[in-house]
Chains A and B, each alone.
Chain A
Amino acid sequence: MTNFTIFIVIAVMAMISFALVRQKSVAIVGGATQQLHSLPRYHGYYAAVRVFAPCLFLFLLWIIGGETVIENLVVAGLPDSVKNVSGDQISLILNRIQLAVQHGEASTTDANILAAADKYSSLYNKGLWATFSLTLAVGLLGYYLSNSRTHADYRARNSFEKTISVALAASSFLAVVVTLGIVASLIFESLRFFQQVPIQDFLFGLHWSPQTALRADQVASVGAFGSIPLFAGTFLISTLAMLVAGPIGLFAAIYLTQYANRTVRAVAKPVLEILAGVPTVVYGFFAALTVAPMLRDAGGAIGVDVASESALAAGLVMGVMIIPFVSSLSDDAITAVPSSLKDGSFALGATKAETITQVLLPAALPGVVGAFLLAISRAIGETMIVVMAAGMRPNLTANPLEAVTTVTVQIVALLTGDQEFDSPKTLSAFALGLALFVITLLLNVAALRMVRKYREAYD
């Protein structure tokens, strides 16, 4: 008996109920299905739902909670000498038990652990069988109920409709819960960080070097957690990226919507959108291996000192990466402007360029601004290109020729490698993440409002 078997049994039960109840509904009216309130297949669907939904619920309960319950039982049964230890060590003991369950006596010689492992296995087996019998019973009950209630006037269609809406609502609820969970964990961990590092130091500090002592007896600095250099780096690179992507994306959108003939548009638009599909890591090594050295050589040729990892290289390549964002969203905004406005302008003797700059773009402006804001939040969140092309050194500068680092890159740096989970160094990643989240959230809200406003303008 395994979890998989249980699931298969549930699914098969549901399918069989579908077939049987469907047949029964046909039989009730002697084949004259037009006398049924609902089509036979709805009777079948609803019977399947009646079997599947409660069984699935039980099954999930077992999957999610079963193991924890068994672990607690096993721990409770351990001799006091073993179990009277701190919470951390309990989890170590549990790990050893799990190992013993998998590898038997090869993993340990501790008799207590082996005994516990045996207990664990038998409990787990019992749990499986219990779940299996329970689901079987519930499934049969569901089938029995559906079967006995099937009659000509039974509103299976309406009931099925209701289950559909419940299932849809559950999906969206799940998405919302997951989002809230992520935000909550960000906030929670950030609060822990701010207990160790004052929030004003984090928000306004000019120095970022999160090296804390590894051991308590080490004489090392407590680390500096001023996030300004990181946000300055993010801001610098995003600005550079937008300087590239803004004009090019917008002009491309104008060209594609207003000037390009159908063949050019049919080719250029998909090609532009392929740009959006290139993995960012590819952009990253393009930036690091091609653009950055090129910039350094070009700088050298005219006597300007360009770092081999520079904000400029990262910004330029990131700009290329977000061109399709700007262009395709601007394209939508421009196409959404009713052509009657264009005709009106032409009929007054305006040229194409006059029409575009004075009628089309102002009318599409909210949408275009929305496109820009979405592109900016994309740029802010981008990590890979910056890691590879702009370096990892926190550097408070406005000079795009120097190496800088960004918030996202620092988060990666903080969390890779072995870390003590509650050191300020690790926790600071959450604080950075939270700050970044708030910024992009605000940008997105602003962008969506803009986009919605321009939608309303023509409806």
Chain B
Amino acid sequence: MNSAPAETGPEAIQAKPKMAARGVNVFYGDNHAIKDIDLDLYADKVTSLIGPSGCGKSTFLRCLNRMNDTIPICHVTGEILLEDENIYTSGIDVVQLRARVGMVFQKPNPFPKSIYDNVAYGPRIHGLAAHRTDLDEIVTTSLEKAGLWQEVKDRLDSSGTALSGGQQQRLCIARAIAVNPEVILMDEPCSALDPIATAKIEALIDELSGRYAIIIVTHSMQQAARISRKTAFFHLGEMVEYGDTTEIFTSPKEDRTRDYITGRIG
């Protein structure tokens, strides 16, 4: 099994991973959902997680900001490092961790509040803005970065749930950006969207990739090929192969990877 990160090639040597998984196992009760995964995630490279349904992509992603903590039967072993610090040690402030590692969900989930309050939610609870003007500033720039500002600038007071699905998803991205995270996790962010909205989100990911480490789960191999520099293929809870996206899609080392990308494992 080629579970070690691709450390060959010139670009792998220069950068230190932003996040890294070391021997991670996840159990839901007796169900061994993730098996002994090692993976390095780089700040400057969008990473795609692909694999058939139920292989543990979401489960792994949710380990990275400890969202699995909200599931009582979920149990994680191994280490996950965020800049050399294990986020699963007992002293860690989970709330602070999640402010550093943001998340965008499969189904857009704006709060039933105004667009403004949706974006201001994070900054308010973390006390990022001392004055109303600072908050306005954060909301504006977050919406701008999420490519939503032009569409909503005249109706910041209307409800976030009244936006279209694609707009809602960008609102959720703006909401995540507003707390100024270092890493953004995205779990199939486009699966509920039409092709045009998907294209907008993809363009947005591309643009954000310079500022944030982005890890995205996707079922679309075209999407993974379009937007990510690194791709990890999961199968039945194992990470089968991890490497540069171009290599994974053109010359996979593992048979299972090849079978999957040619459509033989579904």
Contact = CB atoms under 8 A, between A and B. Distances in A.
Contact of B109 (A344, A350, A358, A457): A344
Interface in A323-374: 338, 340-351, 354, 358-359, 362-363
Chain B, interface SS category:
helix
B122 A349 contact: yes
B111 A345 contact: yes
Contact of B125 (A261, A342, A350): A350
B125 A359 contact: no
Interface string B96-128: 111100110101011111000000011001100
A343 B111 contact: no
A348 B175 contact: yes
Contact of A354 (B96, B111, B125, B179): B125
Nearest to B185: A347
B111 A349 contact: no
Interface in B170-190: 172, 175-176, 179
B138 to A, nearest CB: 13
Secondary structure of the A contact surface, majority rule: helix
Contacts of B72: 261-262
Contact of A344 (B95, B125, B172): B172
Nearest to B93: A349
A348 B99 contact: yes
Contacts of A342: 70
Contacts, number: 67
A368 to B, nearest CB: 14
Contacts of A354: 125
B119 to A, nearest CB: 10
Contact of A338 (B98, B109, B125): B109
B92 interface: no
A7 to B, nearest CB: 57
A344 B105 contact: yes
A457 B112 contact: yes
Contacts of B172: 344
Contacts of B179: 348-349
Given A340-B107, A346-B67, A347-B67, A363 B112 contact: yes
B140 interface: no
B65 interface: yes
Contacts of A343: 67, 70, 105, 109
A349 B105 contact: no
Contacts of B122: 348-350
Nearest to A339: B70
B135 to A, nearest CB: 15
Interface string B61-83: 00001010010100000000000
A398 B176 CA distance: 51
Contacts of A338: 109
A354 B125 CA distance: 8
B213 to A, nearest CB: 16
Given A344-B172, A358-B121, A363-B112, A349 B126 contact: yes
B41 to A, nearest CB: 17
Contacts of A261: 72
B192 to A, nearest CB: 12
Contacts of A362: 112-113
15 contacts: A340-B105, A343-B67, A343-B70, A344-B105, A344-B172, A345-B111, A347-B103, A347-B105, A348-B98, A348-B121, A348-B179, A349-B96, A350-B121, A351-B125, A358-B121
Interface of B: 65, 67, 70, 72, 95-99, 102-103, 105, 107, 109-113, 121-122, 125-126, 161, 172, 175-176, 179
